[in-house]
């Protein structure tokens, strides 16, 4: 079995999360960008997003975040579980989320991407908020190094 670690190690990184939801058609999984703020994980969406529709019908969900570096032997897993809510888009929070992935200088963000995909002021924009009821970490960064963990690096 792995070892626990500080979840901030993954929550602060620009990693992909996977949002798992439930619906009449069964479980579904979607890759998402995220922001950890105010004790919750925030994920962008839109009013017509299928994850939003499923969460409005059944708010139970799970979010998984993994950092995997095969060469370095790093495998960190963070799982969050609970009931999500769908919030009206908060432009300032969405900018902070985008800054995490695109960098702090908005002038350098791809204008096409902002106009067509990550529309900050879209009236249909939503944010999925999950304040986890359970959170677990699992560090199994020893698959290359044996019993000595490859992560965290020694100082």
Q: How confident is the model at residue 144 (pLDDT cuts 50, 70, 90)?
A: confident
What backbone phi and psi angles, to 5 degrees, belong to 11?
A: -65, -25
For 73-126, write each residue's pLDDT tens digit.
999 999 999 999 999 999 999 999 999 999 999 999 999 999 999 999 899 999
CA atoms of 96 and 102, how far apart (whole Å): 10
For 23-54, write each residue's pLDDT tens digit.
999 999 999 999 999 999 999 999 999 999 99
- CB 121 within 8 Å of CB 44: no
Q: How many residues does the chain have?
A: 155
Q: How confident is the model at residue 148 (pLDDT cuts 50, 70, 90)?
A: confident
Number of helical H runs and strand E runs in the chain: 4, 8
Distances (CA, A) of 125 to 33, 86, 96, 117: 15, 10, 15, 11
């Amino acid at each position: 079995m792995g070892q626990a670690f500080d979840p901030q190690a993954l929550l602060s990184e620009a990693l992909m999360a996977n949002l798992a939801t439930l619906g009449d058609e069964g479980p579904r999984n979607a890759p998402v960008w995220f922001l950890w703020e105010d004790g919750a994980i925030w994920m962008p969406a839109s009013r017509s997003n299928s994850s939003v529709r499923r969460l409005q019908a059944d708010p139970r969900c799970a979010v998984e975040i993994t950092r995997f570096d095969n060469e370095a032997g790093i495998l960190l897993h963070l799982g969050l579980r609970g009931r999500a809510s769908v919030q009206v888009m908060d432009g300032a929070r969405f900018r902070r989320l985008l800054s995490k992935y695109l960098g702090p200088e908005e002038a350098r963000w791809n204008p096409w991407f902002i106009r067509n995909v990550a529309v900050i002021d879209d009236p249909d924009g939503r944010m999925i908020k999950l304040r986890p009821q359970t959170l677990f970490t699992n560090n199994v960064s020893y698959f290359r190094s044996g019993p000595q963990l490859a992560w965290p690096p020694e100082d």
